[in-house]
């Protein structure tokens, strides 16, 4: 009976998940050949820009390249890690969540090696507010102290001719406002 239940459960699980299974995209492994565990997406290059550029400049630049643009990440939003020196984390989350300058506020995770040992918040500020505004807000609230600011990267995912990825990477790296260009690598769980 237990085996039948297990079989029915497995069948129902896969039946319920069938819509989320999609065909794999065509990708290449190291050296350009087919591989069951490819290392990058063929025909895609990721480009990173200096922080001072805005969306309009990046959009104009990639349009002039006459290649496909899959996405552009160029907002000016930023996150701050904020230490909770005293008081309830939930109280501060509610306080920040009700502020018009904040996109979201959550409790920070202490599960990664560089994480602060105390309770802390992660707060994302809207891109039309300055870092100075956020500092002033944090310092105006008793029981909090600033830890670190995280900036959103300025990047673009470009569609280039398959097999010409390295040519485009080398060419893009020559521009003074580009900090890096790489293949669109694929990560696998270990």
Q: Let me know: does 148 contact 80? Beta carbons within 8 Å.
A: yes
What single DSSP character describes residue 171? Answer: H
In a domain, 132, yes or no: yes
Contacts of 28 (CB under 8 A, 6+ apart): 34, 35, 38, 39, 40, 42, 162
Domain ranges, residue 114: 78-151
Q: Is residue 180 part of a domain?
A: no
Q: What does the DSSP 8-state code read for residue 153?
A: P
Residue 31 forms part of a structural domain: no
> Against a cut of 0.95, is the pTM above it?
no
Which residues in 1-58 belong to E strands, given as ranges?
40-49
SS3 content of the chain, % helix, strand, coil (to 5): 30, 30, 40
How many structural domains does the chain have?
A: 1
Model confidence over 88-120: pLDDT tens digits? 889 999 999 999 999 999 988 766 666 666 788
Q: Is residue 135 part of a domain?
A: yes
In a domain, 139, yes or no: yes
The tokens for 161 are 């001719």
Task: Tell me if 58 is assigned to some domain.
Answer: no
Q: Tell me the backbone φ, ψ of residue 178, rounded to 5 degrees.
A: -105, 125
Q: Name the band, by pLDDT with cuts 50, 70 and 90, for residue 141.
A: very high
- Is the residue at 142 inside a domain? yes
Domain containing residue 99: CATH number: 3.30.70
Specify the pLDDT at position 21: 32
């Amino acid at each position: 009976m237990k085996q039948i239940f297990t079989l029915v459960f497995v069948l129902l699980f896969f039946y319920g998940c069938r819509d989320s299974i999609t065909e794999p995209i065509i990708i290449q492994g190291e050296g350009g050949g087919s591989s069951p565990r490819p290392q990058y997406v063929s025909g895609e290059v990721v480009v990173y820009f200096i922080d001072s550029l805005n969306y309009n400049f990046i959009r104009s630049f990639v349009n002039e390249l006459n290649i496909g643009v899959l996405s552009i990440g160029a907002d000016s939003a930023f996150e701050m890690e904020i230490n909770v020196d005293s008081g309830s984390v939930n109280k501060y989350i509610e306080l920040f969540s009700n502020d018009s300058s904040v996109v979201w506020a959550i409790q920070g995770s202490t599960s990664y090696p560089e994480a602060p040992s105390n309770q802390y918040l992660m707060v994302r500020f809207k891109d039309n507010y300055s870092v100075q505004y956020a500092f002033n807000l944090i310092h105006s609230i008793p029981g909090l102290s600033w830890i670190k600011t995280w900036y959103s990267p300025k990047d673009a995912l470009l569609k280039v001719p398959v097999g010409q990825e390295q040519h485009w990477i080398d060419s893009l790296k020559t521009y003074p406002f580009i900090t890096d260009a790489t293949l669109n690598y694929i990560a696998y769980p270990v």
